[in-house]
């Protein structure tokens, strides 16, 4: 594919051929595959399929020198030289311009079922996640977390009804497979485990129409938030999955201490949560003063929990000043050295990730 193709178009085309393109960021209807490659986009199906980089076999790249080269190719194995494909993936457009991408497609599973499980409060929902992932004996394709405020924002934005819209939080759990009976067993196991962990009910979306409606709500949260609370700062922290409950608790404490509103949603099954601080009615001066403090505290807590400051959105400019808190000087030097080796005149996305 060429880099400007919208990811959702690739998904649809693969589907028509009974295949799956496994990358599925929530921005699939608007983001391009080139952007996904540059950011190593994650999304909703990382537990089963992995992030974008898992699907990239080869890349045609225009180097800053103007030379055109091809890294990798239509092959599963390649140790002839260095793994430039996966150096390019996630490099945020700082090393070269991707002009063609060779992607891996997989056979499409015959059956998919999504469960929607409301919980009375955030803590109960998030505490259920590690057990669902490790204790049920089933690895779901997706396990998404939405706190009550985010789901209500999406409902109001899309003007839709949602079961238990006043619940404290919801989980979406999706399983897929080729045997109807096996998929049934899996979702029953997960549904029972989700209810045992405090879920109020498990709604089953076992046809495309209901599943699409569910995912539409989930995928609209970021846009809904932008419409309803335009002044906010969405973070993208990622921790070992077992530490997700602690991450949410500590984020709530930080928001409270700094007088900020907060919502949280995201890819709980792979430990990646979009903790989002919202200005709300806070005077601008206080927001400007308190937000950087809250972000620094969030990143410190994340690091202490064994996590990283960005799971899928990248460092860019926004998080550049915090990179040194998670990678040591030796690694920062390597990043600068690689950037210089590719782009000695610093013409591609200068100022992103690191300063030279
Ligand atoms: C509503 C919403 C939901 C989102 N959900 C997710 C999610 O679930 N998971 C996730 O990972 N992200 C998500 N994102 C973030 C974003 O969509 C992703 O990072 C996506 O991969 C960016 O693609 P884009 O086409 O929008 O890229 P852009 O924003 O246009 O570009 C991103 C970066 O890639 C570089 N770039 C773009 N094309 C190329 C190229 N051909 N060669 C080299 N560099 C290039 C650009 O210079 C830029 O630095 C979401 C964003 C929104 C708005």
Q: pLDDT for 195-207, tens place per residue?
A: 999 999 999 999 9
What is the dihedral sign for C-alpha 21, 24, 28, 34?
A: negative
Closest C-alpha to ligand 1, atom 21: 36
Percent of residues, the chain, with pLDDT higher than 70: 100
Residue 81: pLDDT band with limits 50, 70, 90 = very high
Q: At what angle do helices 208-219 and 221-228 cross, to 10 degrees?
A: 40
Percent of residues, the chain, with pLDDT higher than 90: 95
216 Cα to the center of ligand 1, angstroms: 19
Any ligand 1 atom below 6 A from CB of 42: yes
Any ligand 1 atom below 6 A from CB of 43: yes
The bridge status of strand 106-107 relative to strand 111-119 is unpaired
Q: Is the pLDDT of residue 137 over 90?
A: no
Q: Is the pLDDT of residue 36 over 90?
A: yes
Q: Where are the beta strands (DSSP E) in the chain?
A: 19-20, 56-62, 68-72, 97-103, 106-107, 111-119, 142-147, 169-177, 203-205, 232-234, 237-238, 261-267, 272-278
34 Cα to the center of ligand 1, angstroms: 8
CATH 3.30.70.2190 domain residues, the chain: 111-222
* Predicted pLDDT of residue 325: 87
Q: Is the pLDDT of residue 6 over 90?
A: yes
239 Cα to the center of ligand 1, angstroms: 21
* Predicted pLDDT of residue 119: 98
Any ligand 1 atom below 6 A from CB of 38: yes
Any ligand 1 atom below 6 A from CB of 35: yes
* Predicted pLDDT of residue 136: 80
Closest CA to 100 of 57, 149, 44, 135: 57
Any ligand 1 atom below 6 A from CB of 221: no
Closest C-alpha to ligand 1, atom 46: 93
Residue 135: pLDDT band with limits 50, 70, 90 = confident
280 Cα to the center of ligand 1, angstroms: 27
CATH 3.30.70.2740 domain residues, the chain: 229-304
Closest C-alpha to ligand 1, atom 27: 35
> In ligand 1, which atom is closest to the CA atom of 3?
41
**Under CATH, what is the fold of the domain 111-222?**
Alpha-Beta Plaits (3.30.70)
* Predicted pLDDT of residue 41: 98
Any ligand 1 atom below 6 A from CB of 92: yes
CATH 3.30.465.10 domain residues, the chain: 7-107
36 Cα to the center of ligand 1, angstroms: 5
- d(Cα 186, Cα 221) in Å, to the nearest integer? 27
- d(Cα 246, Cα 263) in Å, to the nearest integer? 15
Query: For residues 25 and 11, is the Cβ–Cβ distance under 8 A?
Result: no
Q: Is the pLDDT of residue 288 over 90?
A: yes
Residue 126: pLDDT band with limits 50, 70, 90 = very high
Any ligand 1 atom below 6 A from CB of 238: no
Mutate to test the pocket of ligand 1, among 5, 9, 34, 35 (most ligand atoms within 8 A of CB): 35
Mean local confidence (pLDDT), 175-187 = 97
* Predicted pLDDT of residue 319: 96
> In ligand 1, which atom is closest to the CA atom of 221?
1
Query: For residues 35 and 41, is the Cβ–Cβ distance under 8 A?
Result: yes
* Predicted pLDDT of residue 2: 98
* Predicted pLDDT of residue 282: 94
* Count of C-beta atoms within a 10 Å radius of residue 84: 18
Closest C-alpha to ligand 1, atom 29: 35
**Under CATH, what is the fold of the domain 229-304?**
Alpha-Beta Plaits (3.30.70)
For domain 7-107, the question of CATH label 3.30.465.10 is answered with: yes
Average pLDDT, the chain: 96
* Predicted pLDDT of residue 134: 85
Per-residue pLDDT tens for 259-287?
999 999 999 999 999 999 999 999 999 99
Residue 120: pLDDT band with limits 50, 70, 90 = very high
Per-residue pLDDT tens for 301-337?
999 999 999 999 999 999 999 999 889 999 999 999 9
32 Cα to the center of ligand 1, angstroms: 7
């Amino acid at each position: 594919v060429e880099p400007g193709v919208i990811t959702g178009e690739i998904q649809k085309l693969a589907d028509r051929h009974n295949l799956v393109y496994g990358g599925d960021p929530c921005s699939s209807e608007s983001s391009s595959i080139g952007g996904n490659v540059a950011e190593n986009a994650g999304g909703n199906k990382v537990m089963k399929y992995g992030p974008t980089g898992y699907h990239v076999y080869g890349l045609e790249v225009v180097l800053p020198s103007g030379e055109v080269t091809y890294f990798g190719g239509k092959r599963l194995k390649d140790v002839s030289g260095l793994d430039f494909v996966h150096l390019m993936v996630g490099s945020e457009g700082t090393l070269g311009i991707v002009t063609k991408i060779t992607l891996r497609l997989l056979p499409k599973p015959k059956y998919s079922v999504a469960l929607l499980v409301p919980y009375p409060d955030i803590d109960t929902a998030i505490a259920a996640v590690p057990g669902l992932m490790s204790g049920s004996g089933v690895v779901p394709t997706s396990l998404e977390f939405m706190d009550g405020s985010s789901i209500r924002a999406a409902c109001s934005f899309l003007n839709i009804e949602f079961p238990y819209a006043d619940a404290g939080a919801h989980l979406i759990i999706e399983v897929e497979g080729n045997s109807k009976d096996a998929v049934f067993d899996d979702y029953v196991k997960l549904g029972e485990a989700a209810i045992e962990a405090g879920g109020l009910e498990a709604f089953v979306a076992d046809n495309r129409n209901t599943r699409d409606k569910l995912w539409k709500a989930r995928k609209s949260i970021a846009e809904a938030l932008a419409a309803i609370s335009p002044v906010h700062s969405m973070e993208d922290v990622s921790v070992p999955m077992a530490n997700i409950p602690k991450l949410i608790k500590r984020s709530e404490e930080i928001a409270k201490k700094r007088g900020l509103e907060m919502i949280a949603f995201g890819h709980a099954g792979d430990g990646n949560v979009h903790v989002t601080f919202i200005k709300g009615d806070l005077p601008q001066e206080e927001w400007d003063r308190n937000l950087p403090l809250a972000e620094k505290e969030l990143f410190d807590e994340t690091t202490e929990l064994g996590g990283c400051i960005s799971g899928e959105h990248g460092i860019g400019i926004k998080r550049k000043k915090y990179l040194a808190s998670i990678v040591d000087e030796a690694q920062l030097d390597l990043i600068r050295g690689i950037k210089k080796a590719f782009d000695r005149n610093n013409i591609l996305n200068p100022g992103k990730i690191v300063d030279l």
